[in-house]
């Protein structure tokens, strides 16, 4: 019944585990130190090679793990923090979840590194870019491999730092720097929640190491106790910041200021899914707090809906994809909220495939269009960019949920679980998925169909990207097309590979509440109906988009035209940025200005300057005592000595 | 040949005290009232010697050599001080053509 986590007693495995995060770190050090001195070819080789090596080691670990009975083990390196009863080891936990994340992070990471070698080849900060990317890989690997919450937190902060560095990669542009700061500060809010959650876990369970915490948690009497709700809510606040959920989601669309491969790697495929990883990792704690799960489901659903509606009206190719990412993350949290942890992870995986693909495709388009990002100035790129078009089409079909592409299986499974939990949530989920299909095809049609709307200079420059960029696209397209077969629903009589692979993760949780982990008890007819509805909805959305943007050749209006109120509201992202500005940023700015004016200038400066002025004044006054007459000095000295003697003998 | 402390002890201790108090007072008054830098200097030496005398007397009466050792130190320091002080007075004379300390009020701020 209980999951046995044993230490690995094979030293060569420990070394291999250590090499996985260490190799990208070495790449970071080499590329960072040799930033401008190393030739670009070598930088690319170090950057991609280290990640590829990590990927190959991960594959080996995975094969070794599955062939030797799939028993999780920990790899202890040394005692990192040892204070009183707090013992934090520098150790890795290798289990199903870690291996899945490892494969995903290193595999997609490698493809994106490869793509970056082409995409960034003209940039002067090539070495800097690769060193940051490698540092990101290192932090992300630490995050998923660590065997306790403190190590996860270290990785968590590391990826936040790299996200900041890479969003502001072109740091000569103030807007980009502001976007980077915004991402960093919003993540800080979430991180504070996460940190408090870790403290509370330590206070409650006396440890921060996963196996111990989970073993302790199963012994806790009672479900939904205040302390459990507090722990899970705080952890969820952390996840909210990192995975861009309402209310901390506005940083992610702005994060698109970074180079496109960064958007693909950090802000679509890996870092933003860290929140989901954390919740799945702590599934025992969340199972114990159903209230938090309800909150998660609602937040996820609202995020999915809100972000999808905003996505309908955006005209920047990367912004559309960014809102789509927020919306898909909302779906994943919805699945977590209804306790469909494996489905959520399945969607993380397929989403990583198709969203990385879409972002890289968008990057290829931007590259061909000489850094144009506005879809109103694109159109008809199908001919000029055939490979990009085909792969982008596959990605779009996958995200829209058209069978047999990857997104269909994961999203359908997720929605089926939601249906089982609550019909209303399911209906809203289907609505969000309808909008997803619509805005994704709107993007596709406006970019690749119709007539070219750009300038003459852009038209003459149009070209398909080099092979180093198209190969990752093709690989990701294949994964997006067939990745879904990892989780074929049981209706089709096949084995759900991901589901059965991940099921040992929930051994502890099953001891508390086994219901969520039983196979779905929907009748086959209902399941077919659900699938039919979601596919039909997607097809309707595609047809509407086709009629609007291909048949009628509608082009979104330019900036200065007046929009209808609803359109305007959506186009301006519900004025959420403005709202935050008014209710949070402005008061804080006002407060700090006030503190500056009164506390700093008046009080602190007043005291310091006052002391200085007093000394000057007393010096100026007392200098008259120094007459220069030596006789006077000597007299004063003698009288003082006499006075001291007098006091000494007759008073003291 | 008599042992020196015994010679010193032939005179009562009070006499030494009165004598050195008188010497010291003369020194102080001289420093306070005279204007010639060299005379002031000599008065300072007078005060030092009053103290030396007292130290030697007490050392003899109490059979404690510490006081006499101290006298040697004071002599050495006083010699060094005289050396520096006279040099300063020579410089003052070269500048002022006088050793009157009242003329030295340029040194104030």
Average pLDDT over residues A42-49: 90
**A101-123 confidence digits (pLDDT tens):** 999 999 999 999 999 988 888 88
pLDDT of A142 reads 92
Confidence label for A236 from pLDDT (cuts 50, 70 and 90) = very high
pLDDT of A493 reads 63
CA A310 to chain centre: 20
Q: Is B93 helix (H, G, I), strand (E, B) or coil?
A: helix
| pLDDT averaged over every residue in chain A | 87
A631 neighbourhood in chain B, CB within 8 Å = 32, 35, 101-102
Size of interface A-B (CB pairs under 8 A): 26
**A544-561 confidence digits (pLDDT tens):** 988 888 888 777 777 667
Which of A289-293, A385-389, B89-93, B104-108 is predicted least confidently? B104-108
| pLDDT score of A414 more than 80 | yes
B107 neighbourhood in chain A, CB within 8 Å = 628
pTM to 2 decimal places: 0.79
Q: Are A337 and A291 in contact (CB under 8 A)?
A: no
A629 neighbourhood in chain B, CB within 8 Å = 102, 105
* Closest CA of chain A from B57, distance in Å: 22
pLDDT of B22 reads 96
H helix runs in A38-125, sequence order: 40-67, 96-119
| Nearest residue in B to A619, CA atom | B109
Average pLDDT over residues A201-209: 89
Task: For residue A649, give both structure tokens.
Answer: 């003998």
**B43-71 confidence digits (pLDDT tens):** 999 999 999 999 999 999 988 889 989 99
A626, A630, A638: residue with CB nearest B104 = A630
* Cis-peptide, bond into residue A247, ω within 30° of zero: yes
d(CA A342, CA A278): 13
**A155-193 confidence digits (pLDDT tens):** 999 999 999 999 999 888 888 999 999 999 989 999 999
Confidence label for A6 from pLDDT (cuts 50, 70 and 90) = low
Question: From the DSSP assignment, how many helices (H) and strands (E) are in chain B?
Answer: 4, 0
Q: Is A223 helix (H, G, I), strand (E, B) or coil?
A: coil
Position with higher pLDDT, A38 vs A157: A157
Inter-chain touch B102–A630, beta carbons under 8 Å: yes
d(CA A441, CA A19): 42
A627, A634, A638: residue with CB nearest B105 = A627
**A591-637 confidence digits (pLDDT tens):** 999 999 989 999 999 999 999 999 999 999 988 887 777 778 888 88
Average pLDDT over residues A297-317: 90
B104 neighbourhood in chain A, CB within 8 Å = 628, 630
d(CA A625, CA B108): 10
pLDDT of A125 reads 86
Q: Which of B101, B103, B106 to mutate to test the interface with A (most CBs of A within 10 A)?
A: B101
Inter-chain touch A628–B32, beta carbons under 8 Å: no
Inter-chain touch A635–B32, beta carbons under 8 Å: yes
B→A contacts (Cβ < 8 Å), by residue, are: 28, 31-32, 35, 101-102, 104-109
Domains delineated in chain B: 4-107 (1.10.287.3510)
| pLDDT averaged over every residue in chain B | 88
| pLDDT score of B103 more than 80 | no
């Amino acid at each position: 019944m209980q999951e046995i986590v044993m230490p690995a007693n094979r030293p060569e495995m420990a070394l291999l585990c250590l090499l996985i995060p260490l190799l990208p770190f070495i790449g970071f050090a080499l590329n960072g130190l040799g930033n401008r001195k190393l030739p670009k070819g070598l930088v690319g080789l170090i950057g991609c090679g280290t990640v590829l090596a990590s990927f190959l080691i991960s594959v080996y670990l995975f094969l070794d793990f599955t062939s030797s009975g799939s028993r999780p083990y920990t790899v202890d390196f040394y005692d990192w923090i040892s204070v009183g009863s707090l013992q934090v080891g520098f150790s890795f936990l290798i289990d199903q979840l870690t291996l899945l994340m490892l494969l995903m992070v290193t595999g997609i990471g490698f493809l994106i590194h490869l793509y970056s070698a082409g995409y960034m080849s003209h940039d002067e900060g090539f070495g800097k870019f690769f060193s940051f990317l490698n540092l990101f890989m290192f932090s992300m690997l630490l995050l998923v491999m660590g065997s306790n919450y403190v190590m996860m937190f270290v990785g968590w902060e590391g990826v936040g730092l790299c996200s900041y560095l890479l969003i502001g990669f072109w740091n000569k542009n103030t807007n980009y720097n502001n976007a980077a700061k915004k991402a960093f500060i919003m993540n800080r809010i979430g991180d504070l929640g996460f940190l408090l959650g870790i403290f509370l876990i330590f206070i409650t369970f006396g440890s921060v190491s996963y196996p111990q915490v989970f073993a302790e948690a199963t012994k806790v009497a009672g479900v939904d106790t205040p302390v459990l709700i507090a722990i899970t809510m705080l952890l969820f606040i952390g996840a909210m910041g990192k995975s861009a959920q309402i209310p901390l989601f506005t940083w992610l669309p702005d994060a698109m200021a970074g180079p496109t491969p960064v958007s693909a790697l950090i802000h679509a495929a890996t870092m933003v899914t860290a929140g989901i990883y954390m919740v799945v990792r702590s599934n025992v704690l969340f199972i114990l707090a159903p209230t938090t799960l309800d909150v998660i489901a609602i937040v996820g659903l609202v995020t999915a809906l809100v972000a999808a509606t905003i996505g309908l009206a955006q005209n920047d190719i990367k912004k559309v994809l960014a809102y789509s990412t927020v919306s898909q993350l909302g779906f994943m949290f919805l699945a977590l909220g209804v306790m469909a942890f494996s489905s959520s992870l399945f969607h993380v995986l397929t989403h990583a495939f198709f969203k990385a693909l879409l972002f890289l495709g968008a990057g290829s388009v931007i590259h061909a269009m000489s850094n144009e990002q506005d879809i109103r100035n694109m159109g008809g790129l199908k001919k000029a960019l055939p490979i990009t078009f085909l792969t982008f089409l596959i990605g779009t079909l996958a995200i829209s949920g058209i069978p047999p592409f990857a997104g269909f299986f994961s999203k359908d499974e997720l929605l089926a679980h939601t249906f089982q939990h609550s019909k209303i949530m399911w209906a809203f989920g289907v609505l969000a998925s309808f909008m997803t299909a619509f805005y994704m095809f709107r993007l596709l049609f406006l970019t690749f169909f119709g007539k070219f709307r750009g300038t003459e200079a852009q038209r003459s420059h149009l070209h398909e990207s080099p092979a180093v960029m198209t190969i990752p696209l093709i690989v990701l397209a294949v994964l997006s097309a067939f990745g879904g077969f990892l989780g074929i629903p049981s209706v089709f009589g096949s084995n759900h590979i991901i589901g059965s692979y991940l099921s040992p993760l929930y051994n502890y949780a099953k001891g508390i509440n086994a219901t969520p982990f039983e196979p779905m008890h929907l009748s086959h007819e209902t399941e077919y109906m659900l699938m039919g509805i979601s596919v039909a909805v997607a097809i309707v959305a595609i047809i509407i988009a086709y009629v609007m943007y291909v048949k009628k050749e509608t082009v979104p209006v330019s900036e200065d035209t007046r929009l209808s109120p609803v359109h305007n509201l959506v186009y301006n992202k519900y004025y959420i940025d403005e709202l935050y500005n008014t209710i949070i940023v402005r008061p804080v700015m006002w407060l700090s200005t006030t503190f500056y004016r009164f506390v700093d200038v008046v009080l602190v400066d007043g005291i310091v300057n006052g002391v200085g002025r007093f000394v000057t004044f007393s010096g100026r006054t007392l200098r008259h005592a120094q007459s220069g007459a030596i006789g006077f000095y000597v007299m004063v000295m003698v009288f003082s000595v006499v006075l001291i003697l007098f006091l000494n003998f007759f008073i003291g | 040949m008599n042992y020196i402390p015994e010679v010193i002890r032939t005179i009562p201790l009070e006499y030494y005290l009165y004598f050195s108090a008188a010497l010291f007072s003369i020194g102080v008054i001289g420093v306070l009232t005279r204007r010639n830098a060299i005379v002031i200097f000599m008065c300072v030496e007078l005060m030092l010697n009053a103290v030396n005398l007292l130290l030697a007397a007490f050392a003899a009466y109490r059979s404690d050599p510490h006081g006499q050792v101290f006298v040697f130190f004071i002599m050495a320091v006083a010699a060094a001080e005289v050396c520096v002080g006279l040099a300063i007075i020579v410089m003052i004379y070269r500048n002022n053509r006088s050793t009157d300390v009242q003329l030295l009020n340029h040194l104030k701020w």
